[in-house]
Amino acid sequence: MPENSLNLAGFNEDAAENILENRRRFLKLFPGQWALAGCWQVHGDAVRVVKNLIDAKPAEDEHGDTVYCDAIVSDAAGVLAGVKTADCVPILIGDPKTGAFAAVHAGWRGTVAEVATKALSRMVNEYKTKPGDIVVAIGPAAGVCCYEVGSEVMDAFGERFAPGANLFKPTRTDHACVDLIKANRAQITAVGVHEEKIYSAPLCTMCHTDLFFSYRREKSVYGKVGRLMSVIGRKRV
Contact call for residue 201 and Zn ion (CB under 5 A): no
Least Å distance, CB 221 to Zn ion, is 16
Q: What is the β-pairing status of strands 135-138 and 148-150?
A: unpaired
Residue burial 138-177, b: 16+ Cβ < 10 Å; e: rest? bbbbbbbeebbbeeebbebbeeebeeeeebbeeeeeeebb
Angle between helix 115-127 and 180-190 (nearest 10): 30
In the complex, minimum distance from the CB of residue 88 to Zn ion, in angstroms, rounded to a whole number: 14
Q: Which stretch binds Zn ion (CB under 5 A): 53-61, 94-102, 164-172, 197-205?
A: 197-205
Of the candidate residues 206, 225, 228, 232, the single one contacting Zn ion (CB under 5 A): 206
Distance in Å, CB of 236 to Zn ion, minimum: 38
Question: Using CB under 5 A, which of 53, 77, 146, 186 touches Zn ion?
Answer: 146
Q: Which stretch binds Zn ion (CB under 5 A): 56-64, 116-124, 143-151, 166-174?
A: 143-151
Q: Are 138 and 89 a contacting pair, CB within 8 Å? A: yes
Q: Give the binding-site size for Zn ion (rule: CB under 5 A).
A: 6
Taking CB under 5 A as the criterion, the residue among 145, 162, 190, 203 binding Zn ion is: 145
> Within 10 Å of residue 29's Cβ, how many Cβ atoms?
8
Tell me the closest approach of the beta carbon of residue 204 to Zn ion, in angstroms.
Answer: 3
| Candidate list 78, 131, 143, 226; residue touching Zn ion; CB under 5 A | 143
Residue 204 lies near Zn ion (rule: CB under 5 A)? yes
Is residue 141 within the footprint of Zn ion (CB under 5 A)? no
| Residue numbers at the binding site for Zn ion (CB under 5 A) | 143, 145-146, 204, 206-207
